[in-house]
């Protein structure tokens, strides 16, 4: 099916079979999740603790990796894995050694493990 310049893209989307839309090809962070993660990232960059990041949208999970320096392994990975939504929770923060620091159903609570300013002492 070719898409001409005059065609309305919404009409082309409606013409697809319903079965093709049931299985997403990639897991992604939504706008609110990215806003929360990038807000934390911006504060940590301002504090001089983090310097770089990478986002990977894979078939089974979305990963936001945080680096102290661009040439190193990530110091933290913030992962979203929808397969775990009904179990331990789809969000997790993983350290550079692979240790799961926190896992849960709410991104806000999971990020508290690395967000020192919002953590209750």
Cβ atoms 90, 104 nearer than 8 A: no
pLDDT category of residue 68 using cuts at 50, 70 and 90: confident
Task: Judge whether 67 and 55 are in contact, CB under 8 Å.
Answer: no
Question: Model-level pTM?
Answer: 0.71
Q: What is the pLDDT of residue 73?
A: 85
At 103, is the pLDDT very low, low, confident or very high (cuts 50, 70, 90)? Answer: very high
The whole-number average pLDDT for the span 11-29 is: 61
The yes-or-no verdict on residue 22 having pLDDT over 60 is no
Strand partners, 6: none
By DSSP bridging, strand 91-95 and strand 76-80 are antiparallel
Please check whether residue 79 is in contact with residue 95, taking contact to mean a CB–CB distance below 8 angstroms: no
Predicted confidence at residue 79, as pLDDT, reads 92
CB 68 within 8 A of CB 45: no
What is the Cα–Cα distance from 18 to 3, expressed in whole angstroms? 19
Q: Mean pLDDT across the stretch 68-86?
A: 85
Choose the weakest-confidence range: 22-31, 74-83, 108-117: 22-31
């Amino acid at each position: 099916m070719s898409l001409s310049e005059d065609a309305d893209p919404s009409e082309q989307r409606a013409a697809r079979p319903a079965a093709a839309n049931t299985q997403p090809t990639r897991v992604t962070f939504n706008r609110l999740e990215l806003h929360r993660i990038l807000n934390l990232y911006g504060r940590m960059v301002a504090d001089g603790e983090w310097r770089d990041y990478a986002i990977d949208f894979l078939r089974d999970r979305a990963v936001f990796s945080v680096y102290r320096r661009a040439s190193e392994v990530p110091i933290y990975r913030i992962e979203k894995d929808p397969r775990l939504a009904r179990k331990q929770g789809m969000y997790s923060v993983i350290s550079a050694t692979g240790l799961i620091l926190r896992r849960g159903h709410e991104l806000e609570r999971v990020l508290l493990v690395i967000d020192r300013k919002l953590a209750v002492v």
